[in-house]
Structures are given as C-alpha cells and as structure tokens.
Amino acid sequence: MAQEFERHTPHDPLPMPPPMDFPEEGADESEVLSDVHARIAEDPFSVERNFGITYVGPPHPMAERVATLTRGTYFVEWARQMNPGAYAFEKEAIRMMASLLGRPEATGFITSGGTESNMSAMRLARNLGGKSDPEIVMPTSAHYSFRLGAELLGIDLIETPVDEQMAPDMDAVMRAITPNTVGLICSAPEGNFGQLDPIPEFAKLALEHDLYLHVDGAFGGFILPFMRELGHDLCDFDLSVPGVSSFMTDGHKLGQLPVATGFFLIRDASLLEAVPLDWTFIHTLTATKPGDHAATAWAVMRHLGRAGYRASTARLLESVRIVVEGIESIDELRLMVKPLISVINFTSDTVDMEQVFNELSARGWGSTFGHMNGHARIRLSLHPYRDADHAHGFVEALRESVQAAG
Ligand SMILES: Cc1ncc(COP(=O)(O)O)c(C=O)c1O
C-alpha cells in the first residue's frame, strides 16, 4: 500500500476480518476490557518510538481532564441553544485561532479535521464563483483531500507542477487560470516534505483575477506562528495576507489536541452567504460534533498560550535538529530536502531504503516508507511529544539499521 502522499494503486483489497455475529448476550465488562487491552497491545510501536505519523503523540494532559468534564456534550449549528457552553467554546476557540493567524475578526468552525475543512473551502469557492463548469487550480503537492472534494463537488481540479523540492511553478499556476477558474489552493506547508508554498504570490494572483484563495495550513497553523516568534524568517502565510479567503489548520497535528479537531477560518462572514443555509442548515460537511473537542481546544489553548506553544515548538525543532544531524552523520543517507518544520525525508544512493525501514521496524521504531520522484524514501513526521532523548534513540536505531541493511 502506498504512503499517505503518494498515488495509490487502484483498489488495494480492503482488509476486513471474517464475518462476525452481532452478540446475542452481552459479555462481562472485565472480559471486554481485557480484549481491548490485548488489541491495543498489538500496536507495533510504542508512542515514544513512532516517528512515522504526527498524530501518534498523546494530546496535552489538560485535554484529557477537560474531555472528562465535557464528555457527552455536543455542538451543532441548528441546536446551539441546547448546548450553549459547547457552542461558546467552539466560537471562542475559533476567535483565538483567528487572532493567532492574522485576522482576529475572521469567522469559522471547528471541523473533524483537514479533509472536512478543505472540502468546505472548495464548496465556498465554487458557490461564490458562480460558474457552470468550475475549475480550481492547485500545485500537485497539495493534499489529496482536494481531489476528493473536486470529485464530490463537481469541480475540475487543475494540478500544476512542482519541482523536486516541492516549490510550485508559479508561471504554470498563472497559465492554468481560465474564465472558469473559481479558486486557487496552496499549502502552508504541503505535507510531503513540509515545504511552505509562496502564499503572497498566490494571494497576488487571487486578487488580480478576483479568485477565492484557500490555504491548507494543516501542519502550519500550530507551528509557523511560533517559529516566527522564535525568530525564524518565513514568508507571510496566513489571513494577514490580503487575498487569502480562508485558512485551515488541524489541532490534532501539532496543536496537541485530540484527533478530529480541525479549524476552518474564513476571512469575512459575508463569504458565508454563498452557503444555502435555508435548505441545509450546515456550513461544513458534518453536523453534530463532540462538544469535548471544542472544550478541549479552548482549554488547551488558554492553558498553554503563545508562550506554551513557543516552548513546545522550540522543543520539537530541537528533536528535528537532532534527527537531521544524525541523518547527515550517516554516510549512506541523504536528506531529500532541508526540513522547514517537523517533516523529514531521506533517501540513499547505496543502501536499500526498504530494508532500512524494515530494520527500524524490527527494532521497534516507526517510520513510513514509500517512493517520491523515483527515489525510495523514509518520511518522518515528529509530534511535539517527542523529546531529545527520543530523537537520540531514533538516530541510534537508524545507524544500526543502515549497517544491518548495508
Ligand atoms: C497538508 C494536509 N492537509 C490535509 C490533511 C487532511 O487532514 P485529516 O487527515 O485531518 O483529514 C492532511 C493530513 O495529513 C495534510 O497533511
């Protein structure tokens, strides 16, 4: 099976267990719990040793406490009067994110994650554009959820090339704009290599051609603002850039929030008039959502503040530095691109990367293996939970794995 950002072979068989009866009699609580423990224990990698997927780190401990207090609450637009606390948590969390991301007056929604936020943005772009054959232009490095959105929303998605470092060809983006174009999409950063698209250049094009511009900041929203505060030199990337119509980010990637916490921010409430609420009642793609996600987001952000996230960002970047220096110190390996955030890709001209990946797995260290631009590669995506000790441990295991594979 291909990895997340690679083209999948069509219709890999969907793994399913054998047919299973719906139980007639309930089982003992202790028996059920022991089965749950046994199943969790089958996970191949401990949290500390899984460097392959961002989400593997646990949410901030505050999240667990608040989730316990608010379990069973919900928020949904049409019944906000029933659960005003959860609704207030959602909207105040949105306002906090809007202020972090350059436009305190922006409006928005907590969603189930990046896919929902991206598809909601495409719907807005399509409805606002008012074309009978709508097209959206994006660099091909953007997340595949946009392809799903295009299929479901009847939009023609025009994908433009990127170079080996994932930099979009901006002339190609410009040339791809036609009278049917309703919007542009770019990423802050894209998820393959974690590289930041030139958001101001996309915004300039959007303004010149009067187009909707959506920025996918799934990874970026909870790291780029704090990197900037820590002195990193970055291009402008958020709603402070005139021409950016919407920005999304995921709390479950680098925000230390539980899985299925996304933020979809919209520049001006007036853009939402393109959603035909009279028949649908929903601005996004899902309706009733868990109130504990809104409460947790609100509470963790209030608890950590910018200072707390700056500290976790500095810690995360220190782990990245250790891993990057470790890779550079192993002769057989080379980085495919200089990492900007917490995504690291490396390859080799001499050792079999699949074997390196298998050796890492055999030692209990999680990573992802796949192919990009004709190179076999290992991709790492670090979570703020990883610390310097975890990073040193990974480098040691990687050194051994390369030797074993060589
Ligand atoms: C850049 C980017 N956008 C969108 C998504 C989709 O997010 P989700 O899995 O929360 O739907 C991802 C997921 O990894 C991503 O990396």
Verify whether ligand 1 is closer than 6 Å to residue 250 (CB atom). yes
Which pair of structure tokens corresponds to residue 287? 């309706």
Give 200's pLDDT tier (boundaries 50, 70, 90).
Answer: very high
How does pLDDT run across 31-88, given as a tens digit for each residue? 999 999 999 999 889 888 999 987 767 899 999 999 999 999 999 988 888 889 999 9
pTM > 0.75: yes or no? yes
Residue 5 pLDDT exceeds 70: no
Q: Give the separation between CA 77 and CA 281, rounded to whole angstroms.
A: 7
User: What residues pair up with 266 in beta bridges, in sequence order?
Assistant: 107, 246
Verify whether ligand 1 is closer than 6 Å to residue 145 (CB atom). yes
Give 1's pLDDT tier (boundaries 50, 70, 90).
Answer: very low
How does pLDDT run across 91-114, given as a tens digit for each residue? 999 999 999 999 999 999 999 999
Residue 8 pLDDT exceeds 70: no
Verify whether ligand 1 is closer than 6 Å to residue 70 (CB atom). no
How large a percentage of the chain has pLDDT more than 70?
A: 97
Among 54, 120, 216, residue to substitute to test ligand 1 (most atoms within 8 Å of Cβ)? 216
Give 14's pLDDT tier (boundaries 50, 70, 90).
Answer: confident
Verify whether ligand 1 is closer than 6 Å to residue 143 (CB atom). yes
Pairing of strands 368-372, 289-290: unpaired
Q: What are the backbone dihedrals phi and psi of residue 216, each rounded to the nearest 5 degrees, phi first?
A: -85, 105
How does pLDDT run across 370-386, given as a tens digit for each residue? 998 889 999 999 998 88
| Sign of the CA dihedral with 269 first, then 275, 278, and 282 last | negative
Could you identify the atom of ligand 1 that is nearest to the CA of residue 252? Answer: 10
CA of 312 to the centre of ligand 1 (A): 21
pLDDT of residue 9: 64
Could you identify the atom of ligand 1 that is nearest to the CA of residue 250? Answer: 10
Q: Give the separation between CA 378 and CA 368, rounded to whole angstroms.
A: 6
Domains of the chain: 44-58+306-405 (3.90.1150.10), 61-304 (3.40.640.10)
Tokens 């719906």 map to which residue?
22
Q: Which residues have C-beta within 8 Å of that of residue 136, sequence separation ≥ 6? A: 122, 125, 126, 146, 150, 155, 156, 157, 158, 181, 182, 183, 184, 185
